Structures are given as structure tokens and as C-alpha cells.
Amino acid sequence: MFANRIEGMETSIFTIMSKLAFEHKAVNLGQGFPDFDGPAWIFDAAYKAMKEGKNQYAPMPGILSLRKTLANNYRKYYGLDIDIANGFCITAGATEALYSTIMAYIQHGNEVIMFEPVYDAHLADVKMAGGTARFVTLRRPDFSFDFDELAAEINENTKMIILNNPHNPTGKVYSYDELKYIAELAIKHNLIVLSDEVYEFITYDNAKHIPIATLPGMYERTITISSAGKTFSLTGWKIGWACGEPKLIEGVMKSHQWTTFAVNTPAQHAMAYAFSQLDDYLPDFKKMYLSKRDLMYKLLLGTAFKPHKPLGSYFMMVDLPDDKMNAEEIANDLVINYGVATIPPHVFYGRSEEGNKMLRLCFAKNDETIKAGIEKLNNYE
């Protein structure tokens, strides 16, 4: 019955583990979303927009005030001058931005390089578009990659490199030298770079997020994707975007018009206001996540699971204590018998076996949730 493009596509590991967490009443440190709300003043802005009658279809590229605010931020924070009229496509979350971008540019015969562990939507979208994934492994303990390994994966069929920076699930923040090497290869081989930067404002320990589009020669070949969900702890609002050189965004727009066409209008107005408040909002936001990261890391040091301290995102990878069991077996054991849900990252790998040796935890949780979950992990022997 199914079309070939989804034949063999399995249920997301997030759905599986959250279902098990619910069934066993487990503390859920697996699903990657906050268990707390975003700022109330954003709710007020959305309600104000509704009361003012801003409830009908928004323009296909997104409302002008949101595009203006985003353009101002890209200029202020990164020095990027993005065309307000034609350089943005507001989408139903970064998820739709990824889908619309990949559908616009990838087809049968195209190969796409991605760094594993991959964010699973990247791989699923490439498969649905008919493309072929080629993997370069980010290796412990610092999740760096081998430059020669990346260069060796490029051939005449390669069309795109997908970059996730800061990286989910490892929390890696790519260095300038790493980005420079990726950029040099992209220019040399005339490749498009899709840069998923949804965790752009969640970095630690003086790690600096550098959009690859800011490197010489990269703006005209980079589609940058981000969203409001991670920055304002409102993942259910699904306000994202793709931005870049207008000729590239034109392709995204052609796909977007037949996917969602327009995105939640009052939420866009609320986000136009929210993103105008970043200077005041970000210091406390970053301080909050630093505190949560450090809390989880400190508590994990007393368990059998060795943590890798992330420089970005709100995820933490831990090494397994038992070589006799793989990630999936231990994750199932933990949720069923110990009452804590994690994510086994083996499904994010297409090449290496490293995913069978780790688990992913999420610390975008109330401190009480983090403490309760790690206490249950501490019972594992």
C-alpha cells in the first residue's frame, strides 16, 4: 500500500521511548522538549494579535514584521545582511523548513553528506526525496571529525552537506577551523550547505556559535534554518524559517507553498515581538540552561554513566557502563525496570557502531525532573 518513499520507514525512537515512559510512569529525560513553559509575555503578545483580528492566512513568506526582526538580528549578531523581501521563508517549525529545503534540492541520484549521529529528520527527509546519505562520524570524546574522511565522501553525485550546529544529539559546537574546512570543500565542489542552527543561542563555556554562512564564499550557497521553539521554550508553536540568498530561498518557497503555504498568524506576530527582545531575554535564558547542564553533569558523575559535557544544545551524551548490553537494551531496561526514559542513539548512526555505546539525555527539564531522573539512573548497576 505504501509509496516507495516511505517503505521501510520506522517509527521515531522519540515516539517509542515516550510511549514506554508513559506506560511505565517513568521520568522522561529522553524527549527533547522542555517540561516548563516559555515566557508569559509572549502569550500576551499572541493574545493581543488575536484580539486585533490577526487571525487569517499570513503571507506565504511570513509576516513582514517577523522577517524584519529576524533580518535585524542576523545583522546585529552575525553581520549577515539578508534580504527581507526574498531572503526568508517562515515555516511550520524548523521541521518543515528542513523538509521543504530538501524536497526543493534533492532528488534521485543526489548524495547528501551528514555528520553522524544525525538528527533523524535530516535522514528521513533525504530518503523521502530520493537521495542517498553518506555519513561522516563525530567521534568521542570531543565529537570531532576526520577531515580526510569528509573529503573522501565527496564525489560527482554529491549535492549537499547537512550541518547541525550546535549539534543534536552530542552538544558539539563546530570550531572555526572545522567550518572553514567544510566551506572550502563546499566551494571546491560547488555544494549546497543546509545549516540547521536551531540551538544557536544555547551555548556554554565561551563556545561561540558561528553560522557557516558568515564564512567567505558561503552565503550564496548556504540555506540557514532556525526556529523560535528552542530559543523561547515553545516547541509546540512551530514557528521556524529558512533564510539565505534569495535564489536559494526561492526553491524553498516553491516547496513550502504546497506544504503548509502559510504559518500560524498570531504566533508569528508574537514572535516578531519576542525576537525584538533578545538582548534583554538571552542573558537569563543562557544562565538557566548553563545551570541545568551543570546540575545534570554533576549528578551524573556519581552514577555508572560517564557524561560528555556539551558545549551547546540541551542534550548530554553518556557512555554506557556495561559492554555486554547495547544502547537499546539498556534504554529499555532503564525505562521498564528503573523508571527513567532516555534515548538510545544507535538509530542516529548509518556507519559507525558508536551509537551502541551511549545514551542521550535531555536537560531541558525542571531541576526536580533532572534530579529525579538521575537518582533513578544512579540505581543502575
Q: Which residues contact 338 (CB under 8 A, 6 or more apart)?
A: 26, 376, 377, 379, 380
* 40-278 topology per CATH: Aspartate Aminotransferase; domain 2 (3.40.640)
Single out the residue of 212, 188, 186, 210 nearest to residue 200, CA to CA.
210
Residue carrying C-alpha cell 552565503: 219
Single out the residue of 347, 353, 342 nearest to residue 377, CA to CA.
342
Q: What pLDDT is attached to residue 381?
A: 76
Angle of helix 93-105 relative to helix 120-129, nearest 10 degrees?
30
Q: What pLDDT is attached to residue 317?
A: 98
Per-position pLDDT tens, the chain of length 381? 889 888 878 888 888 998 999 999 999 999 888 999 999 999 999 999 999 999 999 999 999 999 999 999 999 999 999 999 999 999 999 999 999 999 999 999 999 999 999 999 999 999 999 999 999 999 999 999 999 999 999 999 999 999 999 999 999 999 999 999 999 999 999 999 999 999 999 999 999 999 999 999 999 999 999 999 999 999 999 999 999 999 999 999 999 999 999 999 999 999 999 999 999 999 999 999 999 999 999 999 999 999 999 999 999 999 999 777 899 999 999 999 999 999 999 999 999 999 999 999 999 999 999 999 999 999 997
Q: What pLDDT is attached to residue 9?
A: 83
pTM for the structure as a whole = 0.96
* 4-38+281-377 topology per CATH: Aspartate Aminotransferase, domain 1 (3.90.1150)
Sign of the torsion formed by the C-alpha atoms of 252, 257, 263 and 269: positive
Instruction: Tell me the domain boundaries of the chain.
Output: 4-38+281-377, 40-278
| Number of neighbours of residue 25 by Cβ within 10 angstroms | 7
Angle of helix 64-78 relative to helix 265-274, nearest 10 degrees?
30
